[in-house]
Amino acid sequence: MRNGLISDQPGNNTAKFLVGTLGEKTMQKESRSAVTSALALAALLVLPGIGMAQHAIFDSVNKAAAAIGHDNVQLAVVEWITAGEEMGQTVFFNDRGNKQLGADWVPADPRNDVGLGSSIPWGIDGVEVTQDVDPADDILAIQAGMQTWQDENCSFIPLVDLGVSDFDYGFVQFLIGGGAFGGTDFFFPFLTHAGFLPREFFDVLAPGGGDFILGVTFTLIWVDGAGTPTDVDNNNKLDVALREIYYNDEFKWGDGTNGTFDIQTVALHEAGHGLSQAHFGKLFRTDANGRFHFSPRAVMNAGYTGVQRNLTATDTAGHCSNWGAWPNN
């Protein structure tokens, strides 16, 4: 069994994320304007036995990983933010709880051979960028989203920016498409913004998903030789092996003006999932006037309704409860 880490690939190491050039996607797409006032929903899928009903994506991804020697990890959580125009309900989402996902990073994880101790390394796929903006602006928007979490002063998260890759990285995209969507047959055990992919990738997640899923975060956890999820630090949470974030290039991306979806807003939200934050809050509509309301409004609301680049008290409460004692949590 291969360990699935960087050492599996001769010549591949974290330096790939430290030095890289921004590539260009060759895929051409038809631009799609965003309706910034449209209803935004979200979905959460959890591995069977961990919390919710079975979904075919887990079975197919985990079998594909095992088939290429990576039976030490399993897909456990898929969480996405969406945008659409369906108006069939009054209450659109109502997430409550402790604002935390049921899986978390392990300080100084012995299975992680990146060699950065209790740090949380992260990187960006510099090849699969959107053509809607200058590639440099795409990267800067994602970096700004990560920096917002880093700057939260209730805790010090040792986030280590490994930079921008000069190759098409993406373990989950490889597993889902069997290579058809690109990606890699190996993974890095850290958080990666793994690129902008065509709508067909998101159609696999849900019927017609390419029409409404803006971004998605995949959480893969460590499992033992029997396929049982581990909790080596005994914090009653499953051990995160890696998280990958993908963006849907079917939509028109930008800074949230002129009918575009704001890259930084969506990156900030998905990075929250990458740092173990769950969805929180309620979105509802007043039927008399059709206006949307949030209770409370937060970055980690399960939906996009416009530019939101600053954390709210609700966001920081969830963040601080999880990271305030790191690495002794």
Model confidence band, residue 150 (pLDDT cutoffs 50, 70, 90): very high
**Does residue 329 form part of some domain?**
no
Model confidence band, residue 51 (pLDDT cutoffs 50, 70, 90): very low
**Rounded Cα gap, residues 103 and 239, in angstroms:** 6
Query: 214: which strand partners?
Result: none
Per mean pLDDT, which range of 42-46, 105-109, 286-290 is the poorest? Answer: 42-46
Is residue 15 over pLDDT 50? no
Is residue 292 over pLDDT 50? yes
Model confidence band, residue 43 (pLDDT cutoffs 50, 70, 90): very low
Q: What is the pLDDT of residue 143?
A: 98
Tokens of 232: 């080596």
Burial of 257 (0-12, 13-18, 19+ CB in 10 A): exposed
**Does residue 1 form part of some domain?**
no
**Does residue 261 form part of some domain?**
yes
**Rounded Cα gap, residues 163 and 306, in angstroms:** 28
| Strand 120-125 to 159-165 pairing | parallel
Give the domain extent around 313: 6-323
For 241-272, write each residue's pLDDT tens digit.
Answer: 999 999 999 999 999 999 999 999 999 999 99
CB distance 189 to 111 below 8 Å = yes
Q: For residue 32, what is the enclosing H or E element?
A: none
CATH at 261: 3.40.390.10
Is residue 11 over pLDDT 80? no
Question: What are φ and ψ of residue 229, in 5° steps?
Answer: -60, 145
Q: How many other C-beta atoms lie within 10 A of the C-beta of residue 305?
A: 17
**Does residue 245 form part of some domain?**
yes
Q: Rounded mean pLDDT of 293-306?
A: 79
Per mean pLDDT, which range of 39-48, 132-141, 166-175, 262-271 is the poorest? Answer: 39-48
Is residue 8 over pLDDT 70? no
**Does residue 170 form part of some domain?**
yes
Q: How many other C-beta atoms lie within 10 A of the C-beta of residue 239?
A: 22
Is residue 283 over pLDDT 80? no
Highest mean pLDDT among 12-16, 66-70, 310-314: 66-70
List of E strands, the chain: 42-46, 73-82, 91-95, 103-104, 120-125, 159-165, 191-197, 213-222, 238-248, 253-254, 261-262, 281-286, 291-295
Q: Rounded mean pLDDT of 200-225?
A: 92
For 95-128, write each residue's pLDDT tens digit.
Answer: 445 556 689 999 999 898 777 788 999 999 999 9
The count of structural domains within the chain is: 1
**Of all residues in the chain, what percent carry a pLDDT higher than 70?**
74
